[in-house]
Structure 1
Amino acid sequence: MTNGTGRVHRVGMLVFPGVTMLDVAGSAEVFVEANRYGAHYDIALYSPDGRAVRSSTGVHLAVDGRAADAEHLDTALLPGSEGVATAGLDPSLVAAATSLANSAPRVVSVCTGAFLLATTGMLDGRRATTHWRHAEKLARRHPRVTVEPDSIFVTDGPIATSAGVTAGIDLALALVEDDHDAALSRDVARSLVVFVQRPGGQSQFSAPSRSPIPRNRPLRDVLDAVAADPAGSYSVPELAGAVGVSPRHLTRLFQQELGTTPARHIERIRLEAAQAFLDAGHTVTSAATRSGFGSDENLRRAFVQHFGVPPATYQRRFSRTATVGTDPSGTEPSSTEPT
């Protein structure tokens, strides 16, 4: 569908008891707003049995029919819920997701809707993403899917998946751009006061201390020591000597239990510490010193590499004490940056 053709683009959304309201409303709002700028999206809601459903917020959603009866869709959208990631999926919901997905040439999921989409088999052999909290679980349940846990959204052929909740808005804007052009997508983003393309990946929004707890006592002792004083000096020989093992054995433990090298894992611990310091309102310089990076530039390089944004930008978004509208780096924030 190209801009100006006037052809109606039919979007069918699957809703079900407990569906995350923002997964549905956020994407729908983008499409409706696009209609103000010349698009022609028509949105229909479908449930497994054709009955109204109660969303995660308690709001009841009226529907246009059963998912099995949906026809002539251009895009099928599968939102998520906490339940589809943490509990067994009802066969009727799986059947509805499969039916709706098969009724459209383009299929997208929002947040944990990727679990529904994966059950259809359409993600097999493709790249996908979901909310960072559930990315590892998606990869375990569906090993044929290549999960990209840090992506805001992933497009692989006619299939697209987005990360947690508001990332569905990012994906919907990208779909509008694909259907029309970048100018129309920018108009919609400006009207909704959101990014056209959000900087950085979703790891910047995830919680620190996500590292698994090692089973091996020497390795746990090493990580406890680093976490207690991330600014300390930690060469592999020093760490190995402190816990009474050889440097080679310690390196092997890191690979076996954590799948990485000592240096890389220590950097991850320091990054988590730096995030915590920035969240508490420390300056970038103070966070760099206290977390063991030593300099602003070292911390900036690590942040950009792992999170896609510099520490000052991260702090502007997440610090509990930063002054609203002021960037600690001294750069004026964008007037359209969401809070």
Structure 2
Amino acid sequence: MSHRVGFLVCDQVTLLDISGPVDVLHNAEGRYESVLLSPGGGLVRSSSGIALDTTAVADAGPIDTLVIPGGEHLVRHRVDAELLDAARTLAATASRVASVCTGAFVLAELGVLDGRRATTHWRHAATLAHRYPHIDVVADALYVSDGPYLTSAGISAGIDMALALLEHDHGPDSARAVARELVVYLQRPGGQSQFSTALDTPPPRIPALRTIIDAVHADPAADHSATTLAAAVALSPRQITRLFQAELGTTPARWIERVRLDLAQQLILNGHTITAAARRSGLGSDESLRRAFARHLGLTPTDYKHRFATTRES
């Protein structure tokens, strides 16, 4: 008997959150049956405008694994009560519950992630952590498994999570075969930091911190030592560190390194050499750049260039 996987969807759902995991399971030699569900059944329109024909939760029958795909509206607004009730009903009997991208906000609202590790799209990780402080949000993971609950990062990371489910259920050979068929990594190297950017830091509430952040963004390669930053805003280095921890959850040095790394990534993608990217970004030497790439991205600058740089004609 195949393992039934129910995808609970609603209007404005992100299509790839569904289609990516569904295709992984579809290619697993008939071991899974995927079912599209919605609170009331019928047509549900995705954010890209494509309509999905769904079965009502009341008519779903037994579901072994529940997957909740995401959508931007799940972050902007409170989770719809009808969707929340449907998720609660299905989660109560499913042996495993998962989310893709911002679907984690539905599980968070249910309270099932409290005291657990979880992830979501890097752009919304801070919001998830702030809104639900009892969740240990892992911002740089592609997917996180904690007990019967799995959460995955932004959009295509649902494929990574589905492959992990397949490997757990049927072993690495089955997962490897499906990954080859879909021409994807079985275990994608690196985390969400490969794609995120420190330039999306929300504007701080405290004027002194805004001044520092604006100065770093304006010239990442300038001298931004603790002494220089302190003098610029008439605060002590210790006070600045406290501000960064309170508002951004990191240290000044680590945040500045991340901004410089973002610039170095962009310089590499624009065709600059590793040495030039290190110097112009403020990271300094090739070795410093290599260490920053390893620390934040889990790969080397050369690997990053080969993977993401656009091929250019000479």
- TM over 0.5, shorter chain: yes
Q: Which of 46, 52, 56 does residue 61 from structure 1 map onto?
A: 52
Q: Is the alpha carbon distance of 1:229 and 1:107 closer, same or farther for their aligned partners in structure 2, counting shifts above 3 Å?
A: same
- Describe how 1:122-201 pairs up with structure 2 within 5 A: 122-201=112-191
- Residue 236 (structure 1) aligns with: 226
Q: Give the Cα–Cα distance (whole angstroms) in 2 for the partners of residues 67 and 217 of structure 1.
A: 49
- Residue 34 (structure 2) aligns with: 43
Query: Which secondary structure does the structure 2 equivalent of 1:45 belong to?
Result: strand
Instruction: Give the aligned residue type for 1:209.
Output: L
After TM superposition, the structure 1 stretch with the greater mean CA deviation from structure 2, 108-117 or 187-196, is 108-117
More helix by share: 2
Report the count of equivalent residues. 313
Structure 2 unaligned blocks of 5 or more: none
TM-score between the two structures when normalised by the length of structure 2 = 0.91
After TM superposition, the structure 1 stretch with the greater mean CA deviation from structure 2, 208-217 or 87-96, is 208-217
- Contact 1:315 1:322 (C-alpha < 8 Å) held by counterparts: no
2:15 maps to 1:21 = yes
- Contact 1:127 1:146 (C-alpha < 8 Å) held by counterparts: yes
Shift of 1:256: 4.9
Q: Give the Cα–Cα distance (whole angstroms) in 1 for the partners of residues 6 and 246 of structure 2.
A: 46
Q: Is the alpha carbon distance of 1:247 and 1:58 closer, same or farther for their aligned partners in structure 2, counting shifts above 3 Å?
A: closer
Q: Give the Cα–Cα distance (whole angstroms) in 1 for the partners of residues 201 and 95 of structure 2.
A: 39
Q: Is the alpha carbon distance of 1:244 and 1:195 closer, same or farther for their aligned partners in structure 2, counting shifts above 3 Å?
A: same
Shift of 1:323: 4.2
- Describe how 1:101-112 pairs up with structure 2 within 5 A: 101-112=91-102
Q: Give the Cα–Cα distance (whole angstroms) in 2 for the partners of residues 208 and 253 of structure 1.
A: 17
Instruction: Give the aligned residue type for 1:42.
Output: E
Give CA-to-partner distance per residue, 1:293-327, whole Å, 9 cap, x none: 221121111111112222222233433x4449xxx
TM-score between the two structures when normalised by the length of structure 1 = 0.84
Q: Is the alpha carbon distance of 1:141 and 1:254 closer, same or farther for their aligned partners in structure 2, counting shifts above 3 Å?
A: closer
Q: Is the alpha carbon distance of 1:288 and 1:105 closer, same or farther for their aligned partners in structure 2, counting shifts above 3 Å?
A: same
Instruction: Give the aligned residue type for 2:6.
Output: G
Query: Which secondary structure does the structure 2 equivalent of 1:77 belong to?
Result: strand
Instruction: Give the aligned residue type for 1:72.
Output: P
- Contact 1:68 1:100 (C-alpha < 8 Å) held by counterparts: no
Query: Which secondary structure does the structure 2 equivalent of 1:42 belong to?
Result: strand
Q: Give the Cα–Cα distance (whole angstroms) in 2 for the partners of residues 92 and 165 of structure 1.
A: 23
Q: Give the Cα–Cα distance (whole angstroms) in 1 for the partners of residues 136 and 39 of structure 2.
A: 28
Q: Give the Cα–Cα distance (whole angstroms) in 2 for the partners of residues 254 and 45 of structure 1.
A: 43
- Contact 1:70 1:103 (C-alpha < 8 Å) held by counterparts: no
| Pair member with larger Rg | 1
Shift of 1:255: 4.5
2:25 maps to 1:31 = yes
| RMSD of equivalent CA atoms | 2.2
Q: Give the Cα–Cα distance (whole angstroms) in 1 for the partners of residues 246 and 32 of structure 2.
A: 51
Structure 1 unaligned blocks of 5 or more: 1-6, 325-339
Instruction: Give the aligned residue type for 1:20.
Output: T
Give CA-to-partner distance per residue, 1:220-251, whole Å, 9 cap, x none: 44444433333333433344345555545545
Percentage of matched positions with identical amino acids: 55
Instruction: Give the aligned residue type for 1:73.
Output: I
Q: Is the alpha carbon distance of 1:299 and 1:49 closer, same or farther for their aligned partners in structure 2, counting shifts above 3 Å?
A: same
Query: Which secondary structure does the structure 1 equivalent of 2:199 belong to?
Result: coil
Shift of 1:207: 3.2
Q: Give the Cα–Cα distance (whole angstroms) in 1 for the partners of residues 153 and 238 of structure 2.
A: 39
Q: Give the Cα–Cα distance (whole angstroms) in 1 for the partners of residues 9 and 305 of structure 2.
A: 36
Query: Which secondary structure does the structure 2 equivalent of 1:102 belong to?
Result: helix
- Residue 272 (structure 1) aligns with: 262
After TM superposition, the structure 1 stretch with the greater mean CA deviation from structure 2, 184-193 or 273-282, is 273-282
Q: Is the alpha carbon distance of 1:185 and 1:229 closer, same or farther for their aligned partners in structure 2, counting shifts above 3 Å?
A: same
Q: Is the alpha carbon distance of 1:17 and 1:181 closer, same or farther for their aligned partners in structure 2, counting shifts above 3 Å?
A: same
